Structure 1
Amino acid sequence: MPLGTLDRTAPPFFKQGPSALSTLVFFAALALFLMVADARLGITPPLRMAISTVLYPLERIALQPVAWVRGGLGYLQTVQSAQQMEDTARQQMLQQSQRANQVEELLLENGRLRALLALRPRLTVPEQAAEVLYDAPDPYTRRVIIDRGMLQDVAVGSPVIDEAGVLGQVTRVHPFLAEVTLLVERDYAIPVLNTRTGARSVAYGNPASDLDGGLELRFMPSAADVQGGDVLTTSGVDGVYPAGLPVAKVDRVERRADSAFARIHCIPMARMEGARHVMVLQPLSEQLPPRPAATPATPQGAAVAGAPRGKPAAGAARPVAAGAAPAPAAGTPAAAVAGTGAARSAAAASTAGSRLATPPDTAPASAAAARKPALVAPAASAPAPAAARAPSATPRAAPATRAAAQL
């Protein structure tokens, strides 16, 4: 067959469609329409939901093999971890059983010793369960709100603990709610006891120490016996927290040559973030015996203890009225006393005569001074010797002579 007679047209089955450019323009316009319809008209969501509902069984069937493989691997891992946990729990149970036997013996011995020394029995602190509702809205404080308040006998100062240790303390009480300040609040102080050494100290809150906050022991000497891993418990000396509650564990100790104090960072035992269920304890101060009343201080210049009140001490001077002769001192001769009395009587008589003869406006200053009662203040110090205070035996007639001359 000659080549020019061949039919070069495509068979009907392999006939070519529209051109590539036409196809591109059509599908681009369709995509643009679907995007506009999905964003503006809201036509596609029902269609999408229908397609998703139809394809859901197929998706589940396709995912079943993957779920079976994951379930099998998880089962094997769970069995292996369960066996390891069982072995660990058995070992811990054996250790705890040995410690329990020792604790029973120690409790009996402690009871006998306390009875022998007649010590007061340990206090039992009442407690009640509570649930943490939410954190305080203030972002600058570390507080939580619990669902117990004044109507449930929650008081300010009540300690709050969780399953791991001390969480904080109640600082504000409402009728149905209460605010609990966490241990990591800035400068929050709690007395602690190092269980390894028995040394007492004070732990302060430091919210910037770690991500969740922590505690630090301040004013501890660089040579203090504190190591990483030491457990700190409440000492019970503050009258708020019962003794023996876990507080924190020492994380690291920083000792520097240029400082006399060490920086001791601690990690709280309780969960400062995510605590859900807690226990509210009654403050220890409500169960302690009352403190003795303070003895009032003795004012300065008070009477000496042992001396009877209302009676002057021996040798102390007494007030003397005007014109009256003072009492004779011990050891003064009787003649000297009599002479002195006569002289004073004569002086008083002459003074009275001068008052009658002299007008009131020209009265001498001596008469005005004589009208004032001559009071002698009591001596605050030791009395002078009797010989030093004894009046002269010779009568003093000088005032009487001057008065007679004026008359």
Structure 2
Amino acid sequence: MPLGTLERSAPPLFKQGPSALSRLAVYSALALFLMVADARFGVTGPLRQAVGTVLYPVQWLMLQPVEFVSRGAGYFQALGAAQQELDAARKTTAAMGQRAHQAELLAQENTRLRQLLALRDRLETPAQAAEVIYDTADPYTRRVVLDRGQVGGVELGSPVMDEAGVLGQVTRVFPLVSEVTLLVDREQAIPVLNIRTGVRGVAYGDPVAGHGGGMELRFMPANADIQDGDLLTTSGVDGLYPPGLPVARVVRVERRADSAFARIYCAPLAQVQGARHVMVLKPLAPDAALPRPEPVQPAPARKGGRK
């Protein structure tokens, strides 16, 4: 059958409704009426409220994932900001602690320097200030190196002391630096005087005693009048140390029946560990620090010799 002969309309057996053009016109007119009525009289307001009330649970449920993501992002942002503030506070606290520590060290150093200046004014022996550069690398000796040497006027055998007492003696002198052997060195000895009794003795270094080393007053009789707490000062009999300089304090006395001498342990008054600023005194007799040559006796004249 040719295509032109086919019927394009619906069969009469089905129910026919309004045409599409009619529906478009009706719906357009209804929409225009509703818009005019809503604009003039608010006819659709109650309907809009009813629909909004019915759809609110659905809307709330649909917005929960969005709010959850937003809250999670805000929580992590706040956590990151709090962590950054905590790190900044820790850095500030560390800086303030370091500044406080530095201020405390500066205050201590200032106090020691003032004490050294006051000590210099009280001393009758010429003295000059020096600074400890470092400790020597030899583990078997207790020595420090000063920043002054022959150019600065340091002499061999010069006593060295800090604000509390005698620290040691200059044993090596170089052009720009000098080496000081501390009193706690095993090879160091110093003549001392007991202020309470007036008894003289010799104190030797004892690097093993105590944590930082001590001293021992040797060759004292077992019945010697010496007690814990006695102050020992320089006696001045060696010709190097000026008399009256504080040296050590007696901390323990051991008297044994099988020994004629007492074991007397002393603690140095000077800061043998960590000393920084010191005073270098001029020795009373510089030649006493050097070995003196034996005097040469003249040869006796032979009897019967030529005249």
Instruction: Say whether the 8 Å CA contact 2:157–2:286 is kept in structure 1.
Output: no
Q: Give CA-to-partner distance per residue, 1:168-191, whole Å, 9 cap, x none.
A: 011111111111100000131110
Q: Does 1:124 align with 2:152?
A: no
1:257 corresponds to which letter in structure 2? A
SS at match of 2:285: helix
Q: Does 1:277 align with 2:305?
A: no
What secondary structure sits across from 2:132 in the alignment?
A: strand
Letter in 2 for 1:55: Q
Query: In 1, Cα distance between the equivalents of 2:131 and 2:272?
Result: 14
Distance 1:52 1:177, change over 3 A: farther
* Alpha-carbon displacement from aligned partner over 1:226-269 (angstroms, at most 9, x marks no partner): 11100000000101100000000001100011111100000001
Q: Indicate the SS of the match to 1:187.
A: coil
Unaligned runs of 5+ in 1: 1-12, 14-50, 68-122, 304-309, 311-407
Report the equivalent of 1:219. 219
Which residues in structure 2 correspond to 1:352-371 (within 5 Å)? none
Percentage of pairs with the same residue: 60
Per-residue deviation, 1:56: 2.5
Residue 207 of structure 2: aligned partner: 207
Q: 1:301 to 1:280 in 2, by over 3 A?
A: same
Shift of 1:192: 0.4
Q: Name 1:256's counterpart in structure 2.
A: 256
Secondary structure at the counterpart of residue 152 of structure 1: coil
Q: C-alpha root-mean-square deviation of aligned residues, in Å?
A: 3.3
1:240 corresponds to:
240
Aligned-partner Cα distance in 2 for 1:206–1:228? 18
2:295 and 2:133 map into 1 onto residues whose CA distance is: 44
Summarize the Cα distance change of 1:258–1:177 in structure 2 as closer, same or farther, 3 Å threshold: same
User: How many aligned positions are there?
Assistant: 195
Q: Scaled by the length of structure 2, what TM-score is found?
A: 0.57
Partner of 1:157: 157
Separation in 2, partners of 1:142, 1:52:
54
Q: Matched residues in 2 for 1:174 and 1:187: separation?
A: 21
Letter in 2 for 1:235: S
SS at match of 2:219: strand
> Could you tell me the TM-score, scaled by structure 1's length?
0.44
Quote the Cα distance in structure 1 between the aligned partners of 2:178 and 2:165: 19
Query: Residues 258 and 133 from structure 1, CA distance in 2 versus in 1: closer, same or farther, beyond 3 angstroms?
Result: same
* Alpha-carbon offset, residue 295 of structure 1: 9.4
Whole-Å separation in 1 of the counterparts to 2:86 and 2:152: 57
CA–CA separation in structure 1 for the residues paired with 2:152 and 2:242: 21
8 Å contact 2:155–2:286 — kept in the other structure? no
* Match 1:56 to one of 68, 78, 84: 84
> Does residue 193 in structure 1 map to residue 221 in structure 2?
no
Distance 2:86 2:276 in 1: 42
User: One-letter code of the match for 2:132?
Assistant: V
Structure 2 residue ranges without an equivalent (≥5): 1-60, 62-78, 94-122
Separation (CA, whole Å) in 1 of partners of 2:244 and 2:218: 21
For 1:53 and 1:176, locate their aligned partners in 2 and report how far apart those are by CA, in whole Å.
56
CA distance in 1, matches of 2:204, 2:182: 11
- The alpha carbon displacement at 1:55 in A equals 2.1
Name the aligned partner's letter for residue 274 of structure 1: G
Q: One-letter code of the match for 2:85?
A: P
**CA shift at 1:124, angstroms?**
3.1
Counterpart in the other structure of 1:231: 231
- 1:47-104 Cα offsets, whole Å, 9 max, x none, are xxxx877622256789x9xx9xxxxxxxxxxxxxxxxxxxxxxxxxxxxxxxxxxxxx
Structure-2 change in CA distance of 1:136 and 1:294 (3 Å): closer
